[in-house]
Amino acid sequence: MKLFSILQAEMAKSHKHNFHNKLIYFSLLLWPALLFITSYYSFKPFNLTESSPLSAYMDVDQITMFLLTGYLGYIFFWSLVQSAWNMSYERQAGTLELIFLTPANRLTIMFARAAGNLLEAVWLFTTFILLVLIVTGQAAEIYWANVPLALFLLCISAIVWGGFLNIVFLFSRDAGILFTIFEEPMQFFSGVRIPILAFPIWGKAIAYLFPLTYVLGIFRDLVLNGKDFTQMIGQYLLLVSIILMLAVTSVFLLKKAETHAKNTGNMVLY
């Protein structure tokens, strides 16, 4: 019950802070849609037949679905990078201390904030994807029975990712470099627009540093390829291990930062 109350409070706070203008809702649809359209038409000048070099790494007939699923995952993860970055504005406004003064568990607040911001940020683009599927007639290509599981895994992964980033930004004076790293590099190397297998070895090494890479692989196998649980046990175990690692790291950083704040009176750990 307490968790639900904190989640509800963080959603209300996020809504009042981030959605004070109706045009913001329009931007939630326009920006991701433009990213998708730009990427889609950037492929058009190239050979997309079965003789295309790209066909060795993906089904070129599914390029629309490949991009839609890629940008859906990207919006889930990127919206939480933006949410964490807003911690810097709270530091400037002097409202960051409220997180330390509240009797609620800070770890719960960090993950509830991630969940609240996620729900606010992705629902409109998800609706856009459904409309595209209906208009293009590609809804029949989706394995709808696997969609709930795919979305559940995407949400859980994104929330843990967002909670981890919230903690990093909470105790950092300036983590703006992470905002830069997780924007274009994450979009390019995580398989959002280009299959991971098409990258050279150094590109694959970078790709596997981003949790989004693993989530997108599972999401596409479930939704586009219709794979069942037994075919993806290795992928599930790898994703669970990454989620657990992020969660454990989040707890460790939070405890260390709280101890540092109590001993020094300084909320900046690094």
For 84, list phi and psi in degrees, rounded to 5: -65, -35
- For residue 82, being part of any structural domain is answered with yes
Residues 172-201, mean pLDDT to the nearest whole number: 79
Q: Does residue 270 fall inside a structural domain?
A: no
Domains in the chain, number: 1
d(Cα 267, Cα 80) in Å, to the nearest integer?
22
pLDDT digits (tens, 9 = 90+) for 155-171: 999 989 888 888 887 77
Residue 50 lies in a domain: no
pTM of the model: 0.85
Residue 185, C-beta contacts closer than 8 angstroms, at least 6 positions apart: 206, 210
Confidence class for position 95, pLDDT limits 50, 70, 90: low
Length of the chain: 270
Residue 229 located in a structural domain: yes
Instruction: Look at residue 270 in the predicted model and tell me its pLDDT.
Output: 58
**Stretch 99-116: mean pLDDT:** 75
Range of the domain at 251: 3-45+55-264
Nearest to 193 by CA among 178, 181, 176, 207: 207
Domain assignment present for 269? no
Asked if the structure places residue 28 within a domain, the reply is yes
Asked, for residue 19, whether it belongs to a domain, the answer is: yes
* Mean pLDDT for the stretch of residues 195-205: 88
Tens-digit pLDDT profile for residues 24-63:
666 666 777 777 788 777 776 666 666 666 666 777 677 8
How far is it, in rounded angstroms, from Cα 127 to Cα 123? 6
HSE of 61 in the Cβ direction (CA atoms, 13 Å)?
5
Is residue 121 one of the residues assigned to a domain? yes
